[in-house]
């Protein structure tokens, strides 16, 4: 449940910040009358995300067991790839998100109402689709359709409240640090989803090694115990993973976490120039 709360919180906060920046900029520049197209784009993005989640859930329910496992495993791998890209992208752009969005909004204002709808739709829709896909794969991994969904909804609700507080100026935090540490936690969550996806692909007979276990500690950590349920809900921990699952988990976590937590190199600024000649030192 915590893992899904973290997904909902982080993804929802990104979308909330995007909406806050767009709305605040329009109000500040005297374009309050252009807010309606922005909210229309946001509503379309939310509707698309919900429709995508419903399609994944109800569409997969009509498949055979093997086809469902193949679909679930493939989408798990895809969602982990998207989340990995997302955490690195936000780590790189968190400090410059406001200026980047304002530049796009200026261009949209110059074009017209339709461009405002498209700008807000794509800005929020990307986060919404990623959230729907990752939450669906996480729900499949826990075999519990209630608690993971509740966790994700609580995370989204928290992100909306935080976004509103940001807009009102009542809350100020270092967003770069926030996204850095929540990103690190998401890397661990994503590793569990990836390992479960590998298991799905093994059950679909698309990957070998379903009967080759790396270890089996189900007697020490029973899956139905409170601590087993907690570990599975937070980290998608499995007490009896296959060798391939364990290898993929380690191969993913080690390099991704190392690169993600490595200090970022500051961008070198170009030397000041006078005419076509470098400025004198």
What is the arithmetic mean of pLDDT over 43-53? 88
Distance from C-alpha of 132 to C-alpha of 87, rounded to nearest angstrom: 16
Q: pLDDT (tens digit, 9 = 90+) per residue, 203-240?
A: 999 999 999 999 999 889 887 787 777 777 667 788 89
Q: pLDDT (tens digit, 9 = 90+) per residue, 90-124?
A: 777 666 666 766 677 777 777 676 777 887 787 78
Which pLDDT score is estimated for 130? 78
pLDDT band at 198 (very low <50, low <70, confident <90, very high): very high
Which pLDDT score is estimated for 71? 87
């Amino acid at each position: 449940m915590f893992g899904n709360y973290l997904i909902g919180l982080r993804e929802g906060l990104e979308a909330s910040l995007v909406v806050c920046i767009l709305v605040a900029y329009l109000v500040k520049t005297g374009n309050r009358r252009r807010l309606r197209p922005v909210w229309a784009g946001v509503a379309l993005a939310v509707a698309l995300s919900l429709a995508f989640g419903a399609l994944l859930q109800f569409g997969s329910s009509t498949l055979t067991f093997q086809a469902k496992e193949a679909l679930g495993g493939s989408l798990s791998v895809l969602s982990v790839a998207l989340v990995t890209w997302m955490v690195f992208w936000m780590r790189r752009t968190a400090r410059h998100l406001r200026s980047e969005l304002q530049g796009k909004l200026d261009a949209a204002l110059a074009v017209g109402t339709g461009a405002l709808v498209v700008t807000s739709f794509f800005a929020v829709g990307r986060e919404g689709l990623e959230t729907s896909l990752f939450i669906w794969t996480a729900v499949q991994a826990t075999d519990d359709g209630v608690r993971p969904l509740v966790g994700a909804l609580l995370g989204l609700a928290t992100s909306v409240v935080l976004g509103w507080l940001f807009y009102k100026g009542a809350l100020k935090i270092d967003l770069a640090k926030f996204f850095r540490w929540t990103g690190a936690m998401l890397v661990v969550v994503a590793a569990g989803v990836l390992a479960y996806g590998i298991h799905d692909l093994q059950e679909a007979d698309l990957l070998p090694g379903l009967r080759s276990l790396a270890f089996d500690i189900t007697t020490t950590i029973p899956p139905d115990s409170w601590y087993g349920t907690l570990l599975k809900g937070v980290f998608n921990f499995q007490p009896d993973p296959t060798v391939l699952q364990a290898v993929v988990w380690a191969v993913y976590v080690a390099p991704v976490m190392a690169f993600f937590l490595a200090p970022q190199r500051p961008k070198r600024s170009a030397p000041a120039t006078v005419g076509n000649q470098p400025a004198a030192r």
